[in-house]
Structure 1
Amino acid sequence: MKTEKIIIANLKCGGCETTIKKGLLKIEGMTSVKIDNENDTVIAIHDDNIAREKITNKLHSLGYPEATEENGLLLQLKSYASCMIGKINNL
């Protein structure tokens, strides 16, 4: 097993957490996903065969890029949409 700690941008609330968890757990070999809202951190526990890039690409596609990436308007809008979907899924 391998653990990745990734600091991301655009993390706002429990809705974001739900979307991120659901998205990352769809990756084959992903065992666990924990979100630390206060520190904008995702902790992913997975099989050794999953590359970090696969995880960061999935986060990026959901609107949550690594904190070191450029965070343009499109990514911010994607994160708001993901957040709303996550909130609806929490109902």
Structure 2
Amino acid sequence: MENTLKIQNLKCGGCANTIITQLSKLDGISEVQVNNDTDEVSFIASSENDLETVKNKLSQLGYPIDGDANSLPKKAKSFVSCAVGRMTK
């Protein structure tokens, strides 16, 4: 099933690269795309459980779903994820 999630802390292509790389590693997730202009992540998940896995992974990377708590540690983690994404392009 196709899903689109609005996320927080998305800043640049480095962020997008990290998100695409990390979500693509998850079982049951495919066709990951990130739109920096709308702060959205789109992907195909094979089940409802996979959708929850994606939400949790995004939060771990520092990109919580819009409306979820966006603590200082999550914001800091997004900067680290961004930097990693820039280095691995």
TM-based fold match above 0.5 = yes
Shift of 1:36: 0.7
Question: Counterpart of 1:45?
Answer: 44
- Alignment correspondent of 2:65: 66
CA distance in 2, matches of 1:88, 1:51: 28
Q: How many residues align?
A: 89
- State yes or no: 1:86 paired with 2:85: yes
Deviation at 1:50, TM superposition (A): 4.2
> For structure 1, which runs of at least 5 residues remain unmatched after alignment?
none
Which ranges in structure 2 are unaligned for 5 or more consecutive residues? none
Whether the 8 Å CA contact 1:4–1:45 is kept in 2: the answer is yes
SS in 2 for 1:38: coil
Identity %: 37
Paired residues of 1:29 and 1:50 also in contact (CA < 8 A): no
In the superposition, the TM-score normalised over structure 2's length comes to: 0.94
Question: Separation in 1 of the partners of 2:20 and 2:53?
Answer: 14
Aligned to 2:9: 10
